[in-house]
Amino acid sequence: NLLAVKPREWRRRYHIRVRLPYNKMICNAYQPFLKFVCLNLNLSDCPPLGLESLKVSDDQLESSSYLSVGLGPHRGRLNIQSGLEDDDEYDGAWCAGVEDQEQWLQLNALRPTLFTGVILQGRNSIWRSVLNWVRTYKVQFSNDSSVWQPCMNGSEEAVFVGNEDLETPVLALFPEPSVAQYIRINPQTWFSNGTICLRAEVLGCPVPDPDNPHFSETESGSSDDLDFRHHNYNEMRKLMKSVNDECPNITRIYTIGRSYTGLKLYVMEISDNPGKHELGEPEFRYVAGMHGNEVLGRELLLNLMQYICREYNRGNQRVIQLVKDTRIHLLPSMNPDGYEAAYEKGSELSGWALGRYSFEGIDMNHNFPDLNNIMWDAQEMAMDKRRVSNHYIPMPEYYTSTEALVAPETRAVISWMQDIPFVLSANLHGGELVVTYPFDCTRDWIPRQDTPTADNDFFRWLATVYASANLVMANPERRICHSEDFQQHNNIINGADWHTVPGSMNDFSYLHTNCFEITVELSCDKFPHASELPIEWENNKESLLLYMEQVHRGIKGVIRDKDTRAGIANAVIKVDGLGHDIRSAVDGDFWHLLNPGEYKITVWAEGYFPRIRHCSVGSEPRATICDFTLTKTSQDRLKQILASGGKIPRDNQVRIRAMRMRKLRASTKILNRRREQQQRLNKVKRK
C-alpha cells in the first residue's frame, strides 16, 4: 500500500513514522523520501532475512573490525559451526578486532526492509575453551549507510539483552520496528573473560519499492499446492490422515512402534496394492527426523506423500508408474520426542542441538549395532577371509539384552528393517549440504578415512543421483555451509571420510539386511523458517523422485525349487568379484542393485545344488530379470519325498543306488588296505 506525502519544510533529512493500531498498519517514510509505505501485517509474520540459511550473501555483511579472517563479518551467522581448528579461516562467529563500544556488525538488506528484531548467539568452538559472547547491545538503522538512527524505546535509546552462554539463541523484538536498508548491531557489554563475538539472525519484511533495483528479487515459492508449514505431532497425524482419505486406494498408514514418551512412529505406505508385498516388486523407504531438530526431511516427506497422492489422481504418468512398480514407505519422524522439544522453541530459537537426541539423551545415529568391527575383526582372525560372512551379520547378544542402552525408537526401526525386504533407502538429515554413503565407520577408530564398501561404485552413483538433481547442491556459486567445501567432491563423500560414525543406521542396513542406504544432508539450516519450505520443496522434489526410481536398477528375479516351483527363501546371491552378497526374501524374490555391465551370478541355498548364470544390466532404470531354478541335493530330495509319504522316482532310485555303490566301493578299498597292513605287521612279528 502506498500513501503520498508532501513535506513542506525539513532540515537536512527527515524520517516520518505513523502507527495505525486500529488496523495493524505500520507506515514509514524512507529515503529518497518520496514514498510513504504502509504494511498491513502482524510483526510475527516477518521471517528471518537469511543469515543462517545463506540467503544473505557474504557481501551483504560488514563490520567495524575483525580479529582474523576466520572471524570476519561473514562468519557472524546464527548457528554457524567452527572448523576443526580455532583461529582458522572457518571460525565460529564474528569477533571484533577492538574491544570498545564503537564496534558493530552491519547488514545491507539491499532494499527497504521493515526490521522487527534480532537473534543473538555466542561464538561456537568445538574445543569449548573459548568463552565469547555479547551481553548487551544497541541497534541502529540507516537508508544510506552514512546517517544512522538508533532503535528507540520511547524517548531513550533501546539497549537489548544478549547472551549468557555460547549456544542459546536470544530473541529481541524492537519496541518500534523501523524501515531502512541497513541495520547495525552495536555491542555494549560482553563476557568479562572474553571478547566481542557474536552470531546473529535479523528478522524483517521486505517493503515494496518499485524504484529499488532489488525490488523484483523475491524468492519464488512452489506451484504445487501443498501444506507448507511446520507440523507438530498432532498436525502431522492429521495431514497423513487427510492424504489417506484423499487416496485410499494407494495409501495406508501404519505404526512400527512408539517413542520413549509413547508417541507413535507413523509410516505412510504408498502402493497400488497397499498392505501387501507383491512378488518381484521392490520395497523402498525414506526415513526422516532421526535427529528431532533436523526438521526439513520431515516436512519434505509430508509434502512428498501429498504430491504423490495428488499427481496420481491427476494422471501424472511418472508418478503412476512409480506407484505401480514400487512399494514406498515414508517414516517422517523417527524421533518425535526430540522434534516436539525443538518445535516448542521454534525455528530460530532451538539452537544447534535442542531436540537432536531422544528423550533419554541417545543419539540414534550411533545407536545401531556396530557390525562393521565385528566383520573386520572376524576377517583379521580368519585363515580364509572368503569364509567370513559379508552380509546378514547377526546382532551381538549384548545388544539384544533388555539392559542394553538402546532407544525404543531404534529397536522399532530394526524390527521394521527385518520384517520388510527393503532394497533401497535414504536417511534425511540437516545442517549441511552433502550426500554421504557407507561405510560411515572407519577401521581402527581413525577419526576420518575413506572406508568404502564392496558396492562403493554403486553407492557413489546413488549419492550422485540425489546431489546432482538437488538445485542448491548443483549450484556451483553457492557458499559452503560451515567449514567443509563439499563442492570439490561434487557434493558427495564417503561417510567415514567426513567423520567416523560407529553404529550408524546406514552401515547396519547394509550389513544386516539387503538394503542400500545413504544419508542426505538437506540444508545448512537444521530448522528452516516456514517461509523457506516452498523453495526447499522445489530444491529437493526432483531428487526425491529420481532417487526412488533407482530401486529399479540392477537385477531382480525369483529363486524357485525345480520340482515344487515354490520360492526359496534365504538363498544366497553372489556376484562374482563383488565381496558383498544378498539373500532372497520369504517368497524367493530378490533384488541386487548393480551398475550397467555383465555379471556372473551364483545362487545357492541349503539343501540345493548351486546354480550359475550370466546376467546383463543396462543403463536404464529397469531391472534385468534373472530368475533361478535350484535342484535339491539327492539326500535332501529323498528326505522331502519320504516326509510327504510319496514314492521315490525311478531317476532318484538310480542316483541313490549309484551313490550307495560308490560308498560300498570306497568302504571295501579301505577294509582291504587295513587287511594288507595287518598282514604285513603279522609277518614282521613272526620274524
Beta sheet of 434-437, edge-to-edge order? 251-258, 264-270, 327-331, 283-288, 422-429, 516-521, 434-437, 492-494
Q: In terms of residues, how long is the chain? A: 687
Residue with cell 537444521: 526
What residues does 120 pair with on adjacent strands? 170, 200
For 263-279, give the DSSP string.
Answer: -EEEEEEE-SSTTSPPT
Closest among 564, 502, 197 to 365, alpha carbons compared: 502
Closest among 243, 336, 229, 254 to 288, alpha carbons compared: 336
Q: How many CB atoms lie within 10 A of CB 563?
A: 14
Element (H, E) at 615: strand 611-617
- Omega before residue 228 within 30° of 0, cis: no
The number of angstroms, rounded, from the C-alpha of 386 to the middle of its chain's C-alpha atoms is 34
Reply yes or no on whether 521 is catalytic.
yes
Task: Report how far residue 571's alpha carbon sits from residue 514's, in angstroms, rounded to the nearest whole number.
Answer: 12
Residue with cell 514406498: 328
Q: How many CB atoms lie within 10 A of CB 126?
A: 14
Phi, psi of 82 (to 5 degrees): -75, 165
DSSP state at residue 608: B
Q: How far is CA 378 from CA 138, 623, 635, in A?
A: 63, 34, 32
Task: Report how far residue 518's alpha carbon sits from residue 413's, in angstroms, rounded to the nearest whole number.
Answer: 16
Q: How many CA atoms lie within 13 A of 674 on its CB side?
A: 6
- The three three-digit cell numbers of residue 379, written as one number: 576377517
Sign, CA dihedral 478-483-485-491, equals negative
Task: Report how far residue 683's alpha carbon sits from residue 394's, in angstroms, rounded to the nearest whole number.
Answer: 59
Task: Report how far residue 72's alpha carbon sits from residue 19's, in angstroms, rounded to the nearest whole number.
Answer: 37
What residues does 77 pair with on adjacent strands? 200
Task: Report how far residue 426's alpha carbon sits from residue 467's, in angstroms, rounded to the nearest whole number.
Answer: 12
HEC secondary structure over 114-150: EEEEEEEECCECCCCCCCCCEEEEEEEEECCCCCCEE
String of b and e for 286-303 (b: at least 16 CB within 10 Å)?
A: bbbbbbbbbbbbbbbbbb
* Catalytic hit among 269, 521, 532, 536: 521
Task: Report how far residue 86's alpha carbon sits from residue 77's, in angstroms, rounded to the nearest whole number.
Answer: 17
Active site residues: 521
